[in-house]
Amino acid sequence: QKMNSRLSITLIFAAVCCALAAFLPLAKLTFFLSDDAYYYLNVARNITRGAGSSFDGLNPSNGYHPLWMLCLLPIYWLFNASLDQALRAVVMEETLILAATLWLAWGALQRVRANRITVFIALAIVGTLFSPVQIMFNGLETDLVILVLVAILAADARRSFLALPQPASRQVLLG
């Protein structure tokens, strides 16, 4: 029952957000993007066009999160001819990242309810995830970073690493 609810809600979230990304007018979709997102998108476009890692196609650039750039490159390789479709695909990719985050966070919270420290960390991360829509779909690496944090937390929930029995170990871990 719990797995079905978790799966259903995650899939509904992904389907609704992907449908919005596919059918919203472009002006409404771009409202959510951060100004910095266009830097990423243009560098990804230039890389896939053979102009190298550059914003303007002339000067080299490396001022971006490399893992997020790797996520953008296949999209711009596929949709380089249509910037509108590429932008919609980026928002859909963010949706899939957020759906994976939701799935992992929900599972981790179900496993660690008894551990207050882990639950607090999970709530802080998930609280960040479900901030205003502009943070969730901003075209930046934010969603990917949150996914990595939640994946670490989910792995911890499986191993119970934060539930160390020695108080000194916990103090060292938490700084």
pLDDT digits (tens, 9 = 90+) for 3-38: 578 888 889 989 998 999 999 999 888 877 888 888
Q: Which of 21-25, 127-131, 171-175 has the highest mean pLDDT?
A: 21-25
* CB distance 147 to 126 below 8 Å: no
Per-residue confidence band for 132, with pLDDT thresholds at 50, 70 and 90: low
| pTM (2 d.p.) | 0.77
CA distance 121 to 128: 11
pLDDT of residue 156: 77
Out of 8-17, 26-35, 68-77, 83-92, which region has the weakest mean confidence (pLDDT)? 26-35
**Spatial contact of 14 and 102, defined as CB atoms under 8 Å apart:** no
